[in-house]
A and B are shown apart, each in its own frame.
Chain A
Amino acid sequence: MKKYTDQGKKDTRSGFGAGLAELGKTNPRVVALCADLVGSLKMDAFIADNPDRFFQVGIAEANMMGIAAGLTIGGYIPFTGTFANFSTGRVYDQVRQSIAYSEKNVKICASHAGITLGEDGATHQILEDIGLMKMLPGMTVINPCDYNQTRAATLAIAEHEGPVYLRFGRPKVPNFTPEQQEFQIGKALLLQEGTDVSIFATGHLVWEALIAAENLEKEGISAEVINIHTIKPIDTEAIIASASKTGCVVTAEEHNYYGGMGESVARVLTTHRPTPQEFVATRDTFGESGTPQQLMEKYGLNNKAIEKAVHKVVTRRDG
């Protein structure tokens, strides 16, 4: 079994900042916009290098989305930066009409997604954003798992023509994927092969899935772990191949089970290969204040919750 090691804890938003800074040096068409959250989004390096290609819009997210759409007319590739909540729910109609329906090449980069935003509480912890964004026709939805992958994804979306929602987070989490990796949009990554159960995880839950798999191995359960970094378009082939082998599936995400990655996986499976599935996700609830770790524990979003779901789904398959 391949072991992944934590190369040191880093926040995924810093991976975005590093990727954006790199794009600032390599791609003159990339411009960035921010709604008063430059520090939180780690955009300082890009701004220092490219002051003329950065637009501070103030606390006006709707305007930011419209300006970004307009900047594409003239050949630019705008990257917008604000929290996930303000990148989606607050500006849904602007994203829908001016960006998605108008097929504009805007990259909506959303930090502080999910419950691990922590102490700020439910007003800021969006657990509905994946659903909102994946429902928009033509929108690509990406949720990378660590610093290195977020950096790689940031570089990759600049090369992709069309609107993208890039979701990342606030807390420092294990950085375990290779430093110089290629990010292929829509291509799931098989992190660990297994035969008894398929764990499809996205974002911060990928590391938790790897820990769960390690613990399960001690009990004699061989878990396959697949990183679904791209939720739309989802990697149908990878899902069917793994589910065909193991016969049962657990999905794990920091999102409501309504509208999340798990539902996308379920759609693939019910269409192609009906398979028992358990969902590690929040269950139609808002979050609350607390440390990221406390919240992951309370809302059932950690390796223990994944292990529990695996036991349940294996029993269902065998029952």
Chain B
Amino acid sequence: MVSPKNALTFEGIKHAQMSELKDLEALVVQVRRDILRMVHEVNSGHPGGSLGCTEFFVAMYNHVMELKDTFDMDGIGEDLFFLSNGHISPVYYSVLARKGFFPLEELNTFRKINSRLQGHPATHEGLPGIRIASGSLGQGMSVAIGAALAKKLNGDPHLIYSLHGDGELQEGQVWEAVMFAAGRNVDNLIATIDRNGQQIDGPTEEVMPLGDVKTKFEAFGWEVVSLQDGNNLEAIIQTMEEAKKRTGKGKPVAVIMETVMGHGVDFMMHTHAWHGKAPNDEQLELALSQNPETLGDY
């Protein structure tokens, strides 16, 4: 049922030898550099959450998910990923580009006029790898559920993955979706919550306390897996493999992933200050010096 209209051209996804941990670690450092350089270039964008989820994205696209070597909108016969907290687009774009979804040089166009790399991810300009627009928060889990239902209707055993910010859980639609997924046994969905404890106006527990997220998901009828070090590649891979094992048993699976916002750049860590702020020239230099080039800058 792949509609030709949705079959987009791209460079060809690289199934590189990324299975070794040191290769993934090198990629993590390079992606951090991409994120910092992208937001610095246009003096806008969201480095904090992007850096906090770098290890997660690298692990997902290079180890955890099963992907076809072409991109089409319907994505039948492969795992699909949905980013609900669209503002962390820099990490998404960098990981997609370095996977071969689109030319690496295109990272240069991030947030600029006539670009496919919009401030928040969009399908409108036809960027390969993106299947839904996100940015206005709280909508991604519903979309992921729809895609999971389509997989079931198609008899496709592949999984749906989604990522959500923790502050995003303040949106009511998320809980409509959480209720549906459990009530309708959407057990081919693994939703990861980036529990970095920060949002624009400050710590989540001050802005609007989220309380015990794990217990809340469990109370709605989800399987919950905790990931205490969401900035550790090995831990991420291990936890996601565990999450996979829990699919197909009648319940949706949540991964509560604790991360450090701004991870990998010392002055950006443990604060909400870099949620949506770009580094200046000196700050960029310092940040890059903490992350020396590994695979070559774009």
Residue A249 interfacial (CB < 8 Å): no
**A74 and B1 within 8 A (CB):** yes
Q: A59 to chain B: closest CB distance in Å?
A: 9
- Residue on B with the closest CB to A29? B1
**A70 and B1 within 8 A (CB):** no
In the bound complex, CA of A66 to CA of B133 (Å): 11
**Binary CB contact string for chain A from 65 to 87 against chain B (1 if under 8 A, 0 otherwise):** 11111111111101000000000
**B153 and A60 within 8 A (CB):** no
A70, A75, A94, A101 — most chain B CB neighbours (10 Å): A70
Q: Would A62 and B142 be within 8 Å (CB), given that A74-B74, A74-B147 are in contact?
A: yes
Residue A258 interfacial (CB < 8 Å): no
Which residues does chain A contribute within 8 Å of B146, judged by CB atoms? 66-73, 78
Residue A103 interfacial (CB < 8 Å): yes
**Binary CB contact string for chain B from 1 to 36 against chain A (1 if under 8 A, 0 otherwise):** 111010000000000000000000000000000000
Residue B50 interfacial (CB < 8 Å): no
In the complex, which residues 179-214 of chain A have their Cβ closer than 8 Å to any Cβ of chain B?
Answer: none
Q: Would A98 and B139 be within 8 Å (CB), given that A31-B153, A70-B146, A71-B147 are in contact?
A: yes
Residue A53 interfacial (CB < 8 Å): yes
Q: Would A97 and B147 be within 8 Å (CB), given that A31-B153, A52-B153, A73-B74 are in contact?
A: no
- Residue on B with the closest CB to A57? B180
**B3 and A66 within 8 A (CB):** no
In the bound complex, CA of A98 to CA of B142 (Å): 10
Residue A102 interfacial (CB < 8 Å): yes
In the bound complex, CA of A65 to CA of B138 (Å): 12
Which residues does chain A contribute within 8 Å of B76, judged by CB atoms? 74-75
**B143 and A98 within 8 A (CB):** yes
**Binary CB contact string for chain B from 49 to 86 against chain A (1 if under 8 A, 0 otherwise):** 00000000000000000000000011110001010000
Residue B172 interfacial (CB < 8 Å): yes
**B74 and A102 within 8 A (CB):** no
From B133, B149, B173, A63 is in contact (CB under 8 Å) with B173
From B5, B143, B151, A66 is in contact (CB under 8 Å) with B143
- Residue on A with the closest CB to B143? A70
In the bound complex, CA of A93 to CA of B131 (Å): 18
In the bound complex, CA of A103 to CA of B124 (Å): 7
Which residues does chain B contribute within 8 Å of A104, judged by CB atoms? 132
Q: Would A75 and B122 be within 8 Å (CB), given that A62-B142, A63-B142, A65-B142 are in contact?
A: no
In the bound complex, CA of A160 to CA of B176 (Å): 30
A interface: dominant SS = helix
**A74 and B153 within 8 A (CB):** yes
**A75 and B136 within 8 A (CB):** no
Q: Would A101 and B145 be within 8 Å (CB), given that A73-B74, A74-B150, A75-B74 are in contact?
A: no
From A73, A102, A103, B150 is in contact (CB under 8 Å) with A73
In the complex, which residues 117-163 of chain B have their Cβ closer than 8 Å to any Cβ of chain A?
Answer: 122-124, 131-136, 138-151, 153-154, 156
**A63 and B73 within 8 A (CB):** no
In the bound complex, CA of A31 to CA of B153 (Å): 10
In the bound complex, CA of A78 to CA of B180 (Å): 17
**A71 and B142 within 8 A (CB):** no
In the bound complex, CA of A60 to CA of B180 (Å): 9
Which residues does chain A contribute within 8 Å of B183, judged by CB atoms? 58
Q: B147 to chain A: closest CB distance in Å?
A: 4
In the bound complex, CA of A68 to CA of B149 (Å): 10
A55, A72, A104 — most chain B CB neighbours (10 Å): A72
**Binary CB contact string for chain A from 97 to 119 against chain B (1 if under 8 A, 0 otherwise):** 11001111000000000000000
- Residue on A with the closest CB to B178? A63
Q: B202 to chain A: closest CB distance in Å?
A: 24
**B153 and A66 within 8 A (CB):** no
**A97 and B179 within 8 A (CB):** no
In the bound complex, CA of A121 to CA of B30 (Å): 60
**A67 and B172 within 8 A (CB):** no
Residue A161 interfacial (CB < 8 Å): yes
Q: Other CB < 8 Å A-B pairs besides A63-B177, A74-B76, 9 of them?
A: A55-B149, A63-B145, A65-B142, A67-B149, A70-B147, A73-B73, A93-B139, A97-B139, A101-B122
- Could you give 12 example pairs across A and B, Cβ below 8 Å? A55-B184, A63-B176, A63-B180, A65-B142, A67-B149, A69-B146, A70-B146, A73-B131, A74-B150, A74-B156, A97-B133, A97-B139
Chain A interface residues (CB < 8 Å from chain B): 29, 31, 52-53, 55, 57-58, 60, 62-76, 78, 93-94, 96-98, 101-104, 161
Chain B interface residues (CB < 8 Å from chain A): 1-3, 5, 73-76, 80, 82, 122-124, 131-136, 138-151, 153-154, 156, 172-173, 176-177, 179-180, 183-184
